[in-house]
Amino acid sequence: MWYPGHIAKTKRAIKDNIKAVSAVIELVDSRIPYSSRAYEYASLFRDKKKIIIFNKYDICEIEKTKKWIKIYENKGYIVKTVSLKSINIKNFLKKNIANEIPEKFNERRALVVGAPNVGKSTFINSLKGKKTTSVGNTPGITRGVQWINVDSKTKIMDTPGILFPELYNKSIAYKLILAGCLKAEDDEADDAAFFAFDYLKENNPKILENSVENGSKLENAYEFIENFAKKRNFLKKGGIGDYQRGLKTWLKEISDGKLGRITYEIPDEYEEIKV
Ligand code: GDP
């Protein structure tokens, strides 16, 4: 869950840091281009050039995700797709982003923002030439900010801003759990897995079929997870699949994109898409 005090602190840090830049680079998870955005922050970014980077492009269903690109471009964003994990980020920025950042006093300064787990640390640490350590949910650091040089003019703030998407319905929370952006509490792990099972059964049954032994029935989510556990040899007494262990592993592999490409949402499902 998100904690109100924490959200407020993080928002304040972004508010301070935003003054120093002319562009905001928002990282979004390509699998949930709607749910991993944080619309509530729009007013903070009002006067800035807005760049959206759809990250984890390697594990999304490209045709579905592409539909979002048009939507956000029509709303005035610069949109790029990428797999930050497998590229040279400095070169990518020089080639695709630097020219988009408005110049002020002969410099182009930008702030990176995004929901938890969308790739902020991967982005920043690779630019710094350091091994990735997750910033997790740590609120923005208040000491004087540092800048990472991309080229002679372009600088990225070394402290990314953490955005907290609004959880105004359960399916948003489940999708954030499935993408690893939100930690599941209590029964939410079961609920998220059941949500994924229903979605995949309808839209992408191959992923389910590949998770269990050939010929296993895909009737309900509980049995599905048990069968997944069985395939992995997570067994309880009597040779039954260990549901709890299966659940944990399946959710982890889904969120890491190990079971195949998934995009959970398309623009047609939404009446209105905010900025
Ligand atoms: P942060 O919480 O926004 O700082 O996210 P991190 O940079 O810590 O990344 C979260 C997880 O996503 C890590 O396990 C990364 O290795 C992984 N990740 C980052 N970029 C990509 C990508 O382009 N593709 C895939 N498949 N995984 C990625």
Q: What pLDDT does residue 141 have?
A: 41
Whether residue 159 sits in one domain with residue 190: no
Whether residue 147 sits in one domain with residue 85: yes
Q: What pLDDT does residue 207 have?
A: 96
pLDDT digits (tens, 9 = 90+) for 128-183: 986 555 555 544 444 568 999 999 999 999 999 999 999 999 999 999 999 999 99
Ligand 1 first shell, C-beta below 6 A: 55-56, 58-59, 83-85, 114, 116-122, 132, 134-135, 257
CA distances from 65 to 69, 116, 266 (A): 7, 20, 7
CA 3 / ligand 1 centre spacing (Å): 22
Q: Which atom of ligand 1 is nearest to the CA of 136?
A: 2
Count of domains observed in the chain: 2
pLDDT at 37 over 90: yes
Task: Give the CATH number for residue 139.
Answer: 3.40.50.300
Domain final residue, candidates 148, 166, 184? 166
Domain assignment of residue 158, given as a range: 4-166
CA 118 / ligand 1 centre spacing (Å): 6
Averaged pLDDT, 29-55 = 96
- Residue of the CA atom closest to atom 16 of ligand 1: 85
Whether residue 200 sits in one domain with residue 69: no
Whether residue 88 sits in one domain with residue 18: yes
- Counting residues of the chain whose pLDDT is more than 70, the rounded percentage is 95
Q: What pLDDT does residue 182 have?
A: 97
pLDDT band at 116 (very low <50, low <70, confident <90, very high): very high
ipTM, 2 dp: 0.99
Whether residue 22 sits in one domain with residue 57: yes
Whether residue 190 sits in one domain with residue 82: no
Residues 11 and 36: beta-carbon distance below 8 Å: no
- d(C-alpha 218, C-alpha 212), whole Å: 9
- d(C-alpha 35, C-alpha 55), whole Å: 14
Q: pLDDT higher for 87 or 275? A: 87
Considering the chain, what is the average pLDDT of its residues? 93
Residue 265 domain flag: no
Q: Is 216 annotated as a binding residue?
A: no
Domain final residue, candidates 107, 137, 166? 166
Q: Which atom of ligand 1 is nearest to the CA of 114?
A: 3
Residue 273 domain flag: no
- Counting residues of the chain whose pLDDT is more than 90, the rounded percentage is 88
Residue 37 domain flag: yes
Whether residue 176 sits in one domain with residue 161: no
Q: Is 119 annotated as a binding residue?
A: yes
Whether residue 192 sits in one domain with residue 130: no
Contacts of 125 (CB under 8 A, 6+ apart): 131, 132, 133
- Count how many Cα atoms sit within 13 Å of the Cα of residue 17 in the half-sphere of its side chain: 29
- Residue of the CA atom closest to atom 9 of ligand 1: 119
Please tell me what DSSP assigns to residue 2: -
Residue among 117, 130, 163 whose CB has most ligand 1 atoms within 8 A, to mutate = 117
Residue 275 domain flag: no
Q: Which atom of ligand 1 is nearest to the CA of 82?
A: 23
Averaged pLDDT, 243-270 = 97
- Concatenating the DSSP letter of every residue in 230-251 gives HHTT-B-GGG-B-HHHHHHHHH
pLDDT at 26 over 80: yes
Q: Which atom of ligand 1 is nearest to the CA of 160?
A: 4
Among 98-107, 119-128, 134-143, 196-205, which is the least confidently predicted range?
134-143
Residue among 57, 85, 258 whose CB has most ligand 1 atoms within 8 A, to mutate = 85
Averaged pLDDT, 236-256 = 96
Q: What pLDDT does residue 95 have?
A: 97
Q: What pLDDT does residue 271 have?
A: 87
Task: Give the CATH number for residue 192.
Answer: 1.10.1580.10
Whether residue 186 sits in one domain with residue 153: no
Whether residue 150 sits in one domain with residue 23: yes
